[in-house]
Chains A and B, each alone.
Chain A
Amino acid sequence: MSVARAYGAIAIAALLLALLPVMVQSNTVINALVTAMIIALAAQGWNLLAGYGGQFSFGHAAFFGAGAYGNAILQTRYGINAYAAMLTATAIGAAVGAVIGYLSFRSGLRGSYFALITLAFAEVFRIIANATPFTGGAAGTLIKLQVSAANFQFASRAIYFWIILAIVTAVMFLMRGIERSRFGAYLVAVRENEDAAAALGVDTLDVKLKAIMLSAAMTALAGAFYVQYFLFVDSSIAFGTWISVEALLGPIIGGLGTVFGPLLGALALHFLGELAKAVAGRVLGIDLALFGILLVLIIAFARDGLQGLLTRLARLWRARRPA
């Protein structure tokens, strides 16, 4: 793949998405888009560690929550500016990633053991956040509404959308760069076979630690943005399993270990979820049931996700056309 093609596709996708708020002015739609993009960002983080690195986390909520609470508490308790708070919260997320990564990778945890330990961390964090006054306890923490660009608060939802879109696009460029770097090659080698990678001079612990820190930073930034958008956080939003699940469903449905997978998956899931709610009306949890069915279908018929499915359809279509 040429450099132009590798990065061009991301730029084109970003430009097309950027036009959406111009064409659709409905607040509900833009609101759904912002949420989908927050999930896409968290999912990019999960995809780096699991899709590329093969370390399947079931507790990315730990990082999302670290970013969310980090941002909220820094602003409300310490009066730190929103921009600085979001950046610091991202760094806190990376630090939490480093600690969890060091503890689990150092002791050689892999596969389902790693998944369980991350889930355990997220749950412990949730219980602690729910019980300590410092985090606002069960009532949660509310950021004061003061609409001003200096506070990273905007009257128009479209602006939030463009900002989160820009962040997701930047992360996708970064992921493409990683794919084409030595670090990316080492990460995939660790996923495929750790012993063989070590024999070829790959410091597998170092690679996994870098991956989990970067992954956690991305997901923490998603959490920080979530709080900035809704101006509220509590323990079940920040550390709830919902975000761990959404962060992994997106890439699996969109295409594991691909740059576009998390974005495609997150958008498809939210579009379908909204559709299901619109059609089935008030049947509680109908969107979740639909996600389940979709997941089964994808795993059964399109192991490489929507991205793989689209590539195959495109190839088929080209082959059908007379030359």
Chain B
Amino acid sequence: MTAPLLRVSNASKRFGGLLAVDNASLIVKAGGITGLIGPNGAGKTTLFSLISGFEPPTSGSIVFDEAEISGLSPHRRASLGIARTFQIVQPFAGLSVRENIAVGAYLHCRRRDEALDRAAVIAERVGLASRLDAPAAGLTVSARKRLELARALATRPRLLLLDEVLAGLNPSEVRDIIPVIKAFVADGITILMVEHVMQAVMSLCDHVYVLAEGRMIAEGTPAEVTREPKVIEAYLGPGAAARIASGAASHG
């Protein structure tokens, strides 16, 4: 068995009195999409920050491609091949779409014309080709999400961390963007995604981890975890799983 691309072992993050991530472990195998779900405030975004280097873990280890990375700064991790998108999109508002993507492309090419050409190719792939020279500040929410994807993609990542790229999109926009994400996987990029849109999690992810109150409470295929009583209770409250089960029995 080959080593996993990413291994988070017993990671914890404490902010003052709050233990945002509590001894969480997860493994992302190369290829495919791994999901990270959980109720609001579960610590998903904090765990993403630990992996991408924006927050140092209080304890635990993060191993990427068999090398410990938990002491590295975000830009070092980006050059190793870890890219992330932000839950709240962060475009370079004063720049055009092409210039935004070029900032990512510059990671692997020094020359300006090369970076700008590469930006155009990537814009095409995420469906932003027609907006190439538009200012990023004027984009719609859906286009901004695509721009986040494009910039991250431009750094030629091996592992792409997607933090709720589908949140805030309407169902038809979600339907349009799913093939774009699937195409990344076909290109050999491994994806770890935090997502609330369950329809997308079910159709995209091979393996899902469930985080609640900072602790990893379940893992498995999407179908397995949605049947797991602990997961149902984390979302719907204690006893919910039993009530649903008994309700189903009495009606059955």
Contact = CB atoms under 8 A, between A and B. Distances in A.
Nearest to A184: B112
B73 A198 contact: yes
Contact of A198 (B75, B93, B106, B151): B75
Given A188-B95, A192-B94, A193-B90, A202 B73 contact: no
Interface residues of A, number: 20
Contact of A192 (B92, B104, B110, B155): B92
Contacts of B75: 198, 201-204
Contact of A199 (B74, B94, B110, B111): B74
Nearest to A202: B75
A180 B115 CA distance: 11
B83 A185 contact: no
Nearest to B79: A201
A199 B163 CA distance: 13
Contacts of B54: 195, 198-199
B78 A200 contact: yes
B107 interface: yes
Contacts of A188: 92, 94-95, 99
Contact of A195 (B79, B90, B112, B152): B90
A182 interface: yes
A56 to B, nearest CB: 15
Interface string A177-210: 0001110011011011101111111111000000
Contacts of A181: 112
Contacts of B93: 192-193
Given A182-B115, A186-B103, A201 B155 contact: yes
Given A195-B86, A196-B86, A182 B110 contact: yes
B100 to A, nearest CB: 8
Contacts of B165: none
B84 to A, nearest CB: 5
Given A185-B103, A193-B90, A195-B86, A200 B155 contact: yes
Contacts of A192: 91-95
Given A182-B115, A192-B93, A204-B75, A199 B52 contact: yes
Contacts of B92: 188-189, 192-193, 196-197
Contacts of A191: 94
Interface string B107-123: 10011100100000000
Given A185-B115, A197-B92, A200-B155, 14 more contacts: A182-B111, A182-B115, A186-B103, A188-B99, A192-B91, A192-B92, A193-B92, A195-B90, A196-B86, A198-B54, A198-B75, A199-B78, A200-B103, A201-B75
A206 to B, nearest CB: 9
Nearest to B78: A201
B107 A201 contact: yes
A10 to B, nearest CB: 18
A185 B115 CA distance: 10
Nearest to A54: B94
A116 B151 CA distance: 34
B231 interface: no
A111 B94 CA distance: 18
A271 B52 CA distance: 52
Nearest to A205: B73
A200 B115 contact: no
Nearest to B74: A198
15 contacts: A188-B92, A192-B91, A192-B93, A195-B54, A195-B90, A196-B91, A198-B54, A198-B75, A198-B78, A199-B74, A200-B151, A201-B78, A201-B79, A201-B107, A203-B73
Interface in B58-75: 73-75
Given A199-B83, A199-B84, A201-B107, A185 B102 contact: yes
A253 to B, nearest CB: 19
Sort A-B residue pairs by CB-CB distance and give the 3 closest, nearest first. Answer: A201-B78, A192-B92, A196-B90
A182 B109 CA distance: 9
Contacts of B111: 182
Nearest to B80: A201
Contacts of B86: 195-196, 199
B161 to A, nearest CB: 9
A189 B90 CA distance: 11
A180 B103 contact: no
A185 B106 contact: yes
Contacts of B83: 199-200
